[in-house]
Amino acid sequence: MKRFLLFSVLVLSVSAAQANQDRFDDEVAHLLNYIEQSDCTFIRNGTSYSAAEARAHIGRKFGHIKRRISSAEQFITYGASRSSITGTAYKVDCAGVSMESGRWLSEELEAYRKAQAGGSPPTDPQVR
């Protein structure tokens, strides 16, 4: 009986860990697609980039940090908010409205989670 309980706890732990990993992967994939599908301009270290260029850059950064992070919030903080070299915050300009990319992505992550929980439809990738 003890072995069965231990096995059950182990299986449940592995299942929960996999569910968390799947959620993390889904959320980051959504945020990367959100960046790419936006009509926004991204400013990195004073230079403007298209949404496709920003997605490619942030995607490469994610590839380098993926094994060291475990949440979409960490992805935003360590991969999509500021330059790893200069520490300068990334900015996003959508239809003339500018804000830091970390805030923009955090707001989208919150909206995405609400939509996943059945709260509201997906959002348009523009500044709210």
Q: What's the confidence (pLDDT) of residue 6?
A: 47
Helices (H) and strands (E) in the chain, counts: 4, 4
Query: Is the pLDDT at 48 greater than 90, yes or no?
Result: yes
Q: What's the confidence (pLDDT) of residue 2?
A: 64
Minimal CA–CA distance to 21: which of 57, 64, 65, 72? 72
What's the pLDDT tens digit per position in 1-35? 666 554 444 444 444 445 566 789 999 999 999 99
What's the whole-model pTM score?
Answer: 0.78
Cβ neighbours for 102, distance < 8 A, ≥ 6 positions apart: 76, 77, 80, 81, 82, 89, 90
Task: Tell me which H or E stretch contains 42.
Answer: strand 41-44
Q: What's the confidence (pLDDT) of residue 23?
A: 84
Q: Which two tokens stand for residue 4?
A: 């069965």
Please identify which residue in the block is written with the tokens 């995405």.
112
Q: What's the confidence (pLDDT) of residue 1?
A: 61
What's the pLDDT tens digit per position in 66-115? 999 999 999 999 999 999 999 999 999 999 999 999 999 999 999 999 99
Q: What's the confidence (pLDDT) of residue 19?
A: 52
